[in-house]
Amino acid sequence: MLRLERVSAGYGRVTILHNISIEVNQGEVVTIVGANGAGKTTTLRTIAGLVRPTEGSITFDGKDIGRLPAHEVVDLGITLIPEGRQLFPHMTVRENLLMGAYTPRARGEVDQTLDFAFSLFPRVKEKLDQHAGSLSGGEQQMVAIARGLMAKPKLLLFDEPSLGLAPIIVKQVFETIDKIVATGVTVLIVEQNVFHTLSIADRGYVLENGEITMTDTGAALLKNDHVRRAYLGI
Amino acid sequence: MTVFWQLVLNGLMLGGLFAIISVGLTLIFGIIRLVNFAHGELLMVGMYATFLLTTQLGVHPYALAPPVVLLLFVVGVLIQRFILQPLLEARDHHVQIFATVGLSTALINLALLLFGADIHSTPAYGARTSLTLGPFRILTGHVVMFVAGILVVAGLHVFLQRTYLGRAIRATAQHRHAAQLMGIDINRIYIITFGIGAACVGLAATLVAPMYPVSPTVGTYFVLTAFVVVVLGGMGSLHGAFIGALIIGLVDSLSGYYIAPDLKEVVIFAIFILILLVRPTGLFGLGRGSE
């Protein structure tokens, strides 16, 4: 479904990603784990079209998307739920959700998608008329995920969905991701919360200093000595 | 007392005009984060267009609103697309601001070349006729400006709140990266926003033309005042611009009578400096986006 082949990317003259290759198949949950600054966020931003790859190719459903601007990538069915939520703070929750369905493909089915989002997040429905900026961190993360679903994505990219949230909320976020996966959406997730992520992932990649150093099934990586020492502190 | 209320009435009417000019300026600032120093020269372009079309075709200046608004929209779109957008990649965003200063100088000199430094008066077609309202007298053209000011601000408000495009414009202002992730083409949003800002000035131009003569530097007076309005109202705030415009209209009218006509700009800019000292965010300053 998604294939990155020997992709290099960065900001200005600084190269962050060196020749990384990643593959995500239809229906899978794939994770990229790694330390702060390893290039996880850059990887997702490159896929989403916010960062241009300097080398290599990115294909989605067989189509080359490496040179597409971000708004066209969204229309193909790839949605990034960014680190730090990035809601529109002075817009209501309802308006934030409507912006999620901005693409022509999603706009026609707003009502059905809203119902689906409310079934996952009943709390969001109660907050519809509040400004997004006035919500708690956990509520904002729920809105951010719901807003991402409004685009009717085929592939959802999660960037650090648990960052800055209380442990009980983190648990809820991962349960929600499980439910989203159950509806047939393919998921690529980047997390520092390595244990939770590897537990729900079919496969994982380990990213270190902008290079993929290891790849295996989620379960195998959880048992791997290097991963356990470096990321799980065991 | 009648004089006072007459001056208040005049001030509010003038405020309607400042409102139309200022909403364009505040929209461009609030969405594109760009101070458009060529705003006055866009007004000048609109006024020359109105002057030429009225004198050549013998059409009422108000009837020229649709073509002049459209003309200025297109001019605004072209400026954003071909002058400002290429500069977005520049390392320093101030380059864009200097580009609008350069554009302003270029347009003034182009007008000097084409029309000379003399002032030209557009036929008024009754816009300078006064209406009597009890003890008060009021120019028809001023009433039109006031009503148009209210309609433009209300119309833009509804557009920004209720339509997909309007919401996309607000979303871009609040978080441009997140807006891209929603599938919004932000360069297109900037182009449309600059076009709308310029179109507002186009409307203002057709309303001002029958009231004031046009010259290459006519824009400076109106837009310097509009900058004060925008700062007073809070940069980027539509209703702030409207309230600010009414206040500055009142100040203009009252200080012109009670202090001295020559000193009213001194009063206006004294207010400008005071706001910057006391409340730099203005009356209704928008909280910044979370970027």
Residue-wise pLDDT for B167-226, tens only, equals: 999 999 999 999 999 999 999 999 999 999 999 999 999 999 999 999 999 998 888 899
Pick the closest to residue B40 from B226, B249, B193, B199 (CA basis): B226
Same domain? For A67 and A179 the reply is yes
Nearest CA in chain A to B166: A99
Per-residue confidence (pLDDT) for residue A157, from 0 to 100: 97
Cβ-Cβ contacts under 8 Å, B177 against chain A: 50, 82, 86
CB contact under 8 A, A70 and B175: no
Domain of residue A208: give its range. 1-77+153-234
Cβ-Cβ contacts under 8 Å, B175 against chain A: 86-89
Per-residue burial over B19-54, b if 16 or more Cβ lie within 10 Å, else e, is bbbbbbbbbbbbbbbbbbbbbbbbbbbbbbbbbbbb
Per-residue confidence (pLDDT) for residue B286, from 0 to 100: 59
B60 in A contact zone (CB under 8 Å) = no
Pick the closest to residue A70 from B181, B73, B84 (CA basis): B181
Cβ-Cβ contacts under 8 Å, B179 against chain A: 88, 99
Same domain? For A159 and A233 the reply is yes
CB contact under 8 A, B164 and A107: yes
Most A CBs within 10 Å, among B181, B188, B238, B286, to test the A interface: B181
Per-residue confidence (pLDDT) for residue A19, from 0 to 100: 95
Per-residue confidence (pLDDT) for residue B291, from 0 to 100: 35
* Residue where one domain finishes, among candidates A115, A133, A152: A152
CB A4 within 8 A of CB A58: yes
- How near does any CA of chain B get to the CA of A44, in Å? 12
Q: How many CA atoms lie within 13 A of B119 on its CB side?
A: 11
Q: Give the DSSP per-residue string, B35-100.
A: --TTHHHHHHHHHHHHHHHHHHH---GGGGHHHHHHHHHHHHHHHIIIIIGGGGGSS-THHHHHHH
Per-residue confidence (pLDDT) for residue B144, from 0 to 100: 94
Q: What percent of chain A has pLDDT over 70?
A: 100
The model's pLDDT over A192-208, given as tens digits with 9 standing for 90+, comes to 888 889 999 999 999 99
How many residues make up chain B in this entry? 291
How many CB atoms sit inside 10 A of residue B110's CB? 15
How far does Cα B78 stand from its chain's mean position? 18
- What's the average model confidence in pLDDT over A185-190? 96
CATH code of A179's domain:
3.40.50.300
Same domain? For A166 and A216 the reply is yes
Partner-chain residue, chosen from A70, A86, A151, that has the shortest CB–CB distance to B175: A86
Q: What percent of chain A has pLDDT over 90?
A: 80
Same domain? For A31 and A14 the reply is yes
- How near does any CA of chain A get to the CA of B32, in Å? 16
Cβ-Cβ contacts under 8 Å, A75 against chain B: 183
* Mean pLDDT computed over every residue of chain A: 93
A90 in B contact zone (CB under 8 Å) = yes
**A residues 178-197 closer than 8 Å to B (CB):** none
Q: How many CA atoms lie within 13 A of B181 on its CB side?
A: 32
Partner-chain residue, chosen from A50, A75, A133, that has the shortest CB–CB distance to B183: A75
* Residue where one domain finishes, among candidates A152, A180, A199: A152
- What is the amino acid identity at position B133? L
pLDDT under 70: residue ranges of chain B: 91, 286-291
Same domain? For A13 and A122 the reply is no
Per-residue confidence (pLDDT) for residue B201, from 0 to 100: 96
pLDDT value at A12 more than 90 = no
pLDDT value at A96 more than 80 = yes
d(CA A227, CA A219): 11
pLDDT value at A98 more than 60 = yes
CB contact under 8 A, B178 and A50: no
Same domain? For A169 and A199 the reply is yes
Same domain? For A34 and A52 the reply is yes
- What's the average model confidence in pLDDT over A177-182? 92
Per-residue confidence (pLDDT) for residue B290, from 0 to 100: 34
Q: Which residue has the tokens 């689906």?
A: A116
